[in-house]
Structure 1
Amino acid sequence: MNATEQLAAWIRESSNIVFFGGAGTSTESGIPDFRSAAGLYQTEQHSPYPPEELLSRRFFDQHADIFYDFYRGKMLHPDAAPNGCHRLLARLEQEGRLQAVITQNIDGLHQKAGSSNVLELHGSIHRNACMDCKRFYALDDIITAKDTVPRCTACGGVIKPDVVLYEEELDQTILYRSVDALSSADLLLVGGTSLTVYPAAQLITYFQGKHTVLLNATPTAYDRRADLLITDPIGEVMNKVDQLLD
């Protein structure tokens, strides 16, 4: 039995699956990750500002115009489509096997594929709000705004994406729900994440179930604790698993 067949077998045996994913989940949808050789942090090395600074709350407050130039140009991919990973997870949720998707991504592709119980640790590009009056704005409002810094049509306040920037805390409710999901799961699928972003990466230590499957192109500090390691592209692997489950 190869790794893909083993994964399919464990999925068949499971009724309480949780998926924990990162940027690598969406690279096959055309969205670059952060830390790989072709990732955002590498390609922006020659910028006057490192991405960690550009994506900080302090920088947003002081230089919203520069932030939005970077954000619109590098982090918004409105035409991206779900890949095999997103689609299989949505199928497993519809079948009652998968209880939650915990994601570090902000792209909304899990919901676009059909998943409903998605716990977005770092927020979403699809939710935006005026910092003054809290009026809601959709992603299209940010993309089509005439000014570099989108402003509220009601009060003129600066609109901020509902994404967690450096120096900001994660949503405590989302964290608690993630811990609950992981604590009760019988199979944990970890995909497309280097497990180096804290505190999010610490969450998987709450899993006490039967099997942990780690799908990532590069080694992580968690490899030795996984029951199954798969380094092939996650979308391709999940497509094969999807076919095996039919």
Structure 2
Amino acid sequence: MKENWKLLDDFIEQSERIVFFGGAGISTESGIPDFRSASGLYSQGGGYAYPPEVMLSRSFFMREPELFYSFYRGEMLHPEAKPNPGHRALAELEKRGKLTAVITQNIDGLHQLAGSRHVLELHGSVLRNTCMECGASYGLEAVTASSEIIPRCSVCGGMIKPDVVLYEEGLDAAVLNEAAYRIAEADLLLVGGTSLTVQPAAGLVRRFRGDKLALINRNPTPYDADAACIIRDPIGQVLGSILGIEEEPAPGF
């Protein structure tokens, strides 16, 4: 085992209140593109007439819902994606009573699918959708299976909006406050797959009061100087190896 992997293994063994704070990098191994890398959505653009940041804004959603949903379905939804060893390792740590929370900037729902129960979704989830008129709740199929470009409520006909935090929208205060509390109480803060540049979420790391900050990220972050352990390898490989979690076999094997 690599030296820095062994150090993280020791940290996990020594800790009882682990918190994982993660971003898109933990889901790239499940086939979901990230946003800010050279090959990510923001850099590539996808050939749309507007930048992704514009199309993922509240004002654009209200002004151009058809274009929003064209982009959203094409680029943001990955219903075929499955949890990788990184997701499953975190669920195993929670099962063992060592991990108190997963705090995620992702909207894909893979942590819950892997078995994690205490997941704080800072940016919402594509799995939840709500009618803007009557408040009726819908699952992902309301968007993916709709025969209309703009999914409509079966109760009142109102436009359905994904329960994801768009640009120009604020984060849920209750979720943000609990995330801050969990990080402040942690004895190991494990950060993975996030650039730690998006505020206010990235500022949560400053709430950590312990001495075991571990970063698993392929690129440097603003918090590298504060970390006790830095790993540049893929999260799934690292956590899967440490926790003994293997890749699930492909169908048919």
Q: Indicate the TM-score class for this superposition, using the shorter chain for normalisation.
A: over 0.9
Match of residue 136 from structure 2: 135
In the alignment, the residues of structure 2 paired with residue 67 and residue 200 of structure 1 have an alpha-carbon distance, to the nearest angstrom, of: 24
The 8 Å contact of residues 130 and 137 in structure 2, kept in 1 or not, is answered as yes
Structure 1 residue aligned with 2:224: 223
Q: What does residue range 227-238 of structure 1 map to in structure 2 within 5 Å?
A: 227-238=228-239
Q: Kindly indicate whether residue 162 of structure 2 is the aligned counterpart of residue 161 of structure 1.
A: yes
Deviations 1:208-235, CA, capped at 9 Å, x for gaps? 0130000001111111111111001111
Once residues 181 and 209 of structure 1 are traced to their aligned partners in structure 2, the CA distance between those partners, rounded to angstroms, is 12
**Secondary structure of the equivalent of 2:244?**
helix
Alpha carbon RMSD of aligned pairs, Å?
A: 1.1
Q: Greater CA deviation, 3-12 or 158-167?
A: 3-12
Q: What amino acid sits opposite 1:65 in the alignment?
A: E
Q: What TM-score results when the alignment is normalised by the length of structure 1?
A: 0.97
Structure 1 Cα separation of the partners of residues 239 and 85 of structure 2: 5
CA deviations on 1:159-181 (whole Å, 9 max, x unpaired) are: 00000000000000001100110
Alignment map for 1:188-199 (pairs within 5 Å): 188-199=189-200
> SS at 2:27's partner residue?
helix
Question: Take 2:47 and 2:153, find their aligned partners in 1: how far apart are those partners?
Answer: 33
**CA–CA distance in 2 between the matches of 1:167 and 1:208?**
31
Partner letter of residue 80 of structure 1? Answer: A
Instruction: Give the residue type in structure 2 aligned to 1:75.
Output: M
Aligned equivalent of 1:173: 174
Match of 2:81 in 1: 80
Q: 2:183, 2:235 → 1: CA distance?
A: 21
Cα distance in 2 for residues equivalent to 1:43 and 1:73: 14
Amino acid at match of 1:72: R
* Secondary structure of 1:44's aligned partner: helix
Structure 1 Cα separation of the partners of residues 46 and 70 of structure 2: 16
The amino acid of 1:175's aligned partner reads L
1:199 deviation in Å? 0.4
Q: Which amino acid aligns with 2:78?
A: H
Task: List 4+ stretches of structure 1 deviating above 2 A.
Answer: none
Which amino acid in 1 is paired with 2:96? E
In 2, the alpha carbon distance for the partners of 1:197 and 1:48 equals 24
How many residues end up aligned between the 2 structures? 244
* Identical aligned residues as a percent: 56
- Matched AA of 1:17: I
2:46 pairs with 1:37? no
- Structure 2 gap segments, 5+ residues each: 246-253
Matched, 1:91 2:92: yes
Match of 1:25 in 2: 26
Q: For residue 242 of structure 2, what is the aligned residue in structure 1?
A: 241
1:125 aligns with 2:129: no
Q: Which runs of 5+ in 1 are unaligned?
A: none
Deviations 1:176-208 (A, max 9, x none): 100110110000000000011100000010000
Name the CA distance, whole Å, in 1 between partners of 2:7 and 2:109.
29
- TM-score, length-scaled by structure 2: 0.95
Q: CA deviation at 1:45?
A: 6.4
